[in-house]
Amino acid sequence: MSHDHKQTFITKYIFSQDHKMIAKQYLITGIIMAVIGGFMSMLFRLQLAYPEQKFSIIEAFLGKDGMTPDMYMGLVTIHGTIMVFFVLTAGLSGTFSNLLIPLQIGARDMASGFLNMISYWLFFLSSLLMVISIFVHTGMASAGWTIYPPLSALPQAMSGSGLGMDLWLVSMAIFIAASLLGSLNYIVTILNLRTKGMKMSRLPLTIWAFLITAIIGVVSFPVLLSAALLLIFDRSFGTSFYLSDIFIQGEVLHYQGGSPILFEHLFWFLGHPEVYIILIPALGITSEVISTNSRKPIFGYRAMIGSIIAIAFLSTIVWGHHMFVSGMNPFLGSVFTFTTLLIAIPSAVKAFNYITTLWKGNLQFNPGMLFSIGMVSVFISGGLTGLILGDSALDINVHDTMFVVAHFHLVMGISALLGMFAGVYHWFPKMYGRMMNKNLGYLHFWLTVITAYGVFFPMHFTGLAGLPRRYFNNAAFPLFDDLLHINVVITWFAIAGGIAQLIFLANFFFSIFKGKRAVKNPWRANTLEWTAPVEHFHGNWYGDIPEVHRWPYDYSKVDENGEFWGGQDFTPQTEPIREGEEEF
Amino acid sequence: MKALFFILIFVGIAVAFWQIVKLLGLLKGNQVATEKENNINGWLMLGLMVILYLIMSVSLYKCRWVLLPKLSASLEGEHIDTLFMLTMGLILIIQFILQFVIFYFSFKYRGKDKNYKARFFADSHKLEMFWTIVPTVVLTALIIYGIWTWNMVTDVTNKDQNPIYIELYAKQFQWEARYAGTDNILGDANVRNIKGMNTMGVDMTDKNAADDKTVLKEIHLPKGRKIIFQLRSQDVLHSAYMPHFRAQMNCVPGMKTYMGFTPSVTTEEMRKNEDMVKKMKGITEIRKAKSEKLVASGEDALDPYEFDYLLLCNKICGNSHYNMQMKIVVESEADFNTWLASKKTLAQVLK
Ligand code: HEM
Ligand SMILES: [Cu+2]
Ligand SMILES: [Cu+2]
């Protein structure tokens, strides 16, 4: 390993092959995308609460026409796409897989630093294209983040399905390539580059989560790529994979024999695993943070791994629950109800295990810990309504309403976002060698959870009242007039929540330069990354890579006299098993 | 340019947060939680629990009248509602208990005492068995009940109930409907036959087509008869959503899809329903207040609200997706027959 080769500015900060630098690049890109996507949600929330009013902020950003129906759908579409793929897939997994895999398994870098660099730059390119697509003259892609054809296939059907859609598809194709390169690298690294003594059964749960996530990614992303390619063919080369018998704007189109339902199957074969690609890393991060800050082993380590694997496996056979009313055979509906509701079992096991980890702990409320607890709470609140949506008979009446929007924001949007914040606060010292300010962290946390609940809890009820999603306004339906005041409350919570994120941004960027310098192991944690020096250099450890002798969760382990082993409440993985000590 | 101005304001707010903390002298010092902070945040956790319960109960309470009336307007929907109430009850109970446990534990075990020793408790097969088996049992019951209901409401092949066949036809951004006529069989159709008055592309060479009747704007349904809808789309995906009947199915170009239900409450009866009366009153008041403002600025007042069943489009379909609807009238079978008899058949219309 050569780690003292000369580095220029460009190889160190831009085309870096060092996993730590790449992790930071992913994080910063993710944060910028989150600011864009989050800001869009503020704009369309204003529209939902005050449909008749003009706002100078909306005109400043959207032009003189302000919020038109096309603009509304465009914003919703790009908001969804950015949040799901660019923030919570690349920004979350990309950051923490890159940062933690080599550091926590004891490797000097990823298996291929070069591929890793390519993966980031492809992601960067796709982000750039996605942002450019917002400014296209005919409008950004606006068929919803699910881009169902024929709407997305025919420029005649809506103006956003022209150049905007082309750019969306190209951007996503590049994104998928980036994600596949990244995932393969993670898998190979975890399987091959573990340090001596780091058995699979001694891996931190974060690494298990990243491994499983990468595997689902490799299994399902190629299917989305093929769905996108076929859509490109239908759009540009006149094929009929998804199109048939269409009469639009006074003429019959030549397409014959295709089926939009095929697209729905292909899309959701990725789309559902995708929500677990988002969620599982967040679950891994919170497991680690909760255990460290409870000064207790994570409860049921093996059950936690088992349930991640079970969730991952089941997640690939439940995609049909998005299609109960798509016109597919009702028998399939029964099958997908069955598999979908089964997921509740491993999810429940995880929730109970988190709660038991808190029990009789010595909870240290660092900002990362607060966000992790918030994540568990939100994950439960959002997950429970899955029992309604996963049950085909009940889904009939709430499918595609605001109830669904409330559900998925809580269970994957907000919960993964809180998990990501937990990770940022917890590993910031590892990334920048400085600490984030804890007081700003506290303020950020309390405002974020309360506003998140304030936004998404009432939203369930607008959905149960029958309000469809992706509606520009409800003026055409007096039936929904009494929902307007709920929408106003939701919007104010959303704006307050948005402003609260400025606290995070200030804390993050100032702390990079002005934060208090970190010590090597600020949270007194057991995992390997905290044995590496604070300063960064390619190769991670001076001298030999440390050896591992135990699992990562020996917190508050006591000997037969009831005293802490070694006099402190944590035992790093590098400590050999002591005499008389039983390995867990 | 104005956008830049707004961006500068946001940056300004962010910088202000940092500067305030700096002025308060909170930047210096240890950035790891102390016992004091553990104590405060522990109490705040309890506070969060209260706030969460508050948000939940206020939402539940305030939204009583806003919700779809608990009364389903179709026989099949009643089974869905029972299953819904059961599931919702279960969810609320679990939610209240689990959230309590999370926040209570967070409060109780806040690290306020330096000498407190956490308990090394890493595994318990008994506990894990317990919380694997309990959800499994509950879910098995839910799955069986759910699938039974699903099979019943999606069954559109049962001819014993003597169903009436109606086609719903979706296009950007309008609904049309076609009744099957005296033979109760819908004639074939394809978008390639669309011409002039034949807006639904019905194949007039099909012998079942001549007596079909097409209608715009509103459809009527007889109370107590099974209705089977055949759904088609002319251009992109749409979704026929009838929330009061607990019915929804997508309209897919190039394909026919089906759904069915038995209306059980006429429009008139629904308007007299107690919940509905409250809801209508609430909405009328809201509209009155809005009308006053409108009139003051020289515009027309809004109509008072009167309840009607609606067919909405619930799949994003373009520019006017948010305004694609049709009125549904449920009435006695006799009234329905009179209404339908007054409509011309396709053969008459196209002559
Ligand atoms: C600042 C907090 C957020 C607010 C206020 C917000 C608000 C909304 C609203 C109101 C909609 C539905 C609009 C409609 O259907 O008419 C929506 C759509 C969506 N949001 Fe968010 N959101 C937020 C954060 C997030 C996050 C963190 C995610 C990440 C998963 C996310 C993912 C989505 C997706 C996937 C859609 C669906 C887009 C579509 O319909 O095509 N949102 N958001
Ligand atoms: Cu899904
Ligand atoms: Cu529509």
What confidence tens digit (pLDDT) does each residue in A78-114 have?
Answer: 999 999 999 999 999 999 999 999 999 999 999 998 9
Q: Enumerate the H helices of A13-85 as residue ranges.
A: 19-49, 56-62, 69-81
Question: What's the half-sphere exposure (Cβ side, CA atoms, 13 Å) at A148?
Answer: 24
How confident is the model over A122-146, as pLDDT tens digits?
Answer: 999 999 999 999 999 888 999 999 9
**pLDDT grade for A5, boundaries at 50, 70 and 90:** low
Measured distance CA(B66)–CA(B83) in Å, rounded: 20
Main-chain dihedrals φ then ψ at residue B257, nearest 5 degrees: -125, 165
Helix axes A367-384, B35-62, angle to 10 degrees: 20
Could you identify the residue written with the tokens 């016109």? Answer: A327
Residue A277: its pLDDT value, please?
Answer: 94
| H or E element in which residue A231 lies | helix A205-237
Main-chain dihedrals φ then ψ at residue A316, nearest 5 degrees: -90, -5
C-beta separation of A88 from A29 below 8 A: no
Give me the residue spans of the domains in chain A. Answer: 16-258, 318-518, 522-584
State the average pLDDT over residues B71-83: 90
Nearest to B237 among A260, A345, A392 (CB): A260
As given in the structure block, the two tokens for residue A463 are 């959905």
Among all residues of chain A, which has the CA nearest to that of B290? A481
**What are the strands of the beta sheet with B213-216, ordered from one edge?**
B213-216, B174-179, B164-171, B227-233, B257-261
**pLDDT grade for A44, boundaries at 50, 70 and 90:** very high
Most A CBs within 10 A among B56, B99, B250, hence the mutation to make, goes to B250
C-beta separation of A569 from A562 below 8 A: no
Measured distance CA(B280)–CA(A353) in Å, rounded: 47
**Which residues of B fall within a CB distance of 8 Å from A365?**
33, 37-38, 41-42, 110-111
Residue A6: its pLDDT value, please?
Answer: 64
Residue A2 has pLDDT above 50, yes or no: no
Is the Cα dihedral A374, A378, A380, A383 positive or negative? negative
∠ CA A354-A358-A363, rounded to 5°: 135
* Best residue for ligand 1 mutational test, from A81, A146, A405 (most atoms within 8 Å of Cβ): A405
- Evaluate whether the domain defined by A16-258 bears CATH number 1.20.1440.130: no
Most B CBs within 10 A among A290, A387, A436, A440, hence the mutation to make, goes to A387
Q: What is the DSSP letter of A520?
A: S
State the average pLDDT over residues A390-408: 94
Measured distance CA(A298)–CA(B128) in Å, rounded: 13
Could you identify the residue written with the tokens 């009446």? Answer: A397
Return residues 44-73 of B near A (CB < 8 Å): 44-45, 48, 51-52, 55-56, 59-60, 62-63, 65-68
Whether A183 is in the pocket of ligand 1, judged by its Cβ within 6 Å, is no
Residue B250 has pLDDT above 90, yes or no: yes
Could you identify the residue written with the tokens 């639904």? Answer: B200
How confident is the model over B261-270, as pLDDT tens digits?
Answer: 999 999 999 9
Residue A291 has pLDDT above 80, yes or no: yes
**pTM score, two decimals?**
0.94
Residue A558: its pLDDT value, please?
Answer: 85
Neighbours of B342 (CB within 10 A): 8
**pLDDT grade for A219, boundaries at 50, 70 and 90:** very high
Q: How many residues does chain A have?
A: 584
State the average pLDDT over residues B173-178: 93
Is the Cα dihedral A165, A170, A171, A176 positive or negative? positive
B212 residue type, one letter = D
∠ CA A369-A374-A375, rounded to 5°: 95
Give me the residue spans of the domains in chain B. Answer: 34-112+125-154, 164-269+304-350
| H or E element in which residue A247 lies | strand A247-248
**Which residues of B fall within a CB distance of 8 Å from A234?**
none
Measured distance CA(B171)–CA(A247) in Å, rounded: 9
State the distance from the centre of ligand 1 to the C-alpha of B206, rounded, in angstroms: 48
Measured distance CA(A118)–CA(A63) in Å, rounded: 37
C-beta separation of B177 from B215 below 8 A: yes
Residues A118/A121/A122/A123 CA torsion (nearest 10 deg): 120
Question: What's the half-sphere exposure (Cβ side, CA atoms, 13 Å) at B114?
Answer: 1
Most A CBs within 10 A among B127, B319, B325, hence the mutation to make, goes to B319
Residue B71 has pLDDT above 90, yes or no: no
Put simply, the answer to whether A397 touches B243 (Cβ < 8 Å) is: yes
Could you identify the residue written with the tokens 């089906």? Answer: B258
**pLDDT grade for B65, boundaries at 50, 70 and 90:** low
A264: left (phi over 0), alpha (psi -120 to 50) or beta: alpha
Size of interface A-B (CB pairs under 8 A): 408
Put simply, the answer to whether A57 touches B31 (Cβ < 8 Å) is: no
Interface predicted TM-score (ipTM): 0.94
Helix axes A344-358, A330-342, angle to 10 degrees: 20
State the average pLDDT over residues B64-77: 80
β-pair partners for A45: none
- Evaluate whether the domain defined by B164-269+304-350 bears CATH number 2.60.40.420: yes
Residue A557: its pLDDT value, please?
Answer: 87
C-beta separation of B128 from A300 below 8 A: yes
Give the homologous superfamily in CATH for domain A318-518. Cytochrome c oxidase-like, subunit I domain (1.20.210.10)
Q: How far is CA A384 from CA A290, A325, A390, A411, in A?
A: 22, 21, 10, 9
Q: Which ligand is nearest to the CA of B314?
A: 3
State the distance from the centre of ligand 2 to the C-alpha of A459, rounded, in angstroms: 19
Could you identify the residue written with the tokens 């305004």? Answer: B323
Whether A144 is in the pocket of ligand 1, judged by its Cβ within 6 Å, is yes
Q: Is B97 exposed, middle or buried (0-12, 13-18, 19+ CB in 10 A)?
A: exposed
Put simply, the answer to whether A326 touches B252 (Cβ < 8 Å) is: yes
∠ CA B143-B156-B205, rounded to 5°: 150
- More confident site: A315 or B2: A315
C-beta separation of B315 from B231 below 8 A: no
**Which residues of A fall within a CB distance of 8 Å from B194?**
247, 252
Main-chain dihedrals φ then ψ at residue B310, nearest 5 degrees: -135, 150
Residue A3 has pLDDT above 60, yes or no: no
**Which residues of B fall within a CB distance of 8 Å from A366?**
32-33
Question: What's the half-sphere exposure (Cβ side, CA atoms, 13 Å) at A56?
Answer: 6
Question: What's the half-sphere exposure (Cβ side, CA atoms, 13 Å) at B117?
Answer: 14
Measured distance CA(B346)–CA(B351) in Å, rounded: 8
Nearest to B17 among A349, A453, A503 (CB): A503
Select from B340, B322, B108 the least CA-distant residue to B214: B340
| Pairing state between β B218-222 and B325-331 | parallel
Measured distance CA(B75)–CA(B81) in Å, rounded: 10
Measured distance CA(B76)–CA(B262) in Å, rounded: 7
**Which residues of A fall within a CB distance of 8 Å from B241?**
400, 466, 468
State the average pLDDT over residues A181-190: 95
As given in the structure block, the two tokens for residue A425 are 């606060």
Measured distance CA(A291)–CA(B223) in Å, rounded: 60
Is the Cα dihedral B4, B6, B9, B11 positive or negative? negative
Residue A1: its pLDDT value, please?
Answer: 41
How confident is the model over A524-560, as pLDDT tens digits?
Answer: 999 999 999 998 888 889 989 999 999 999 998 888 8
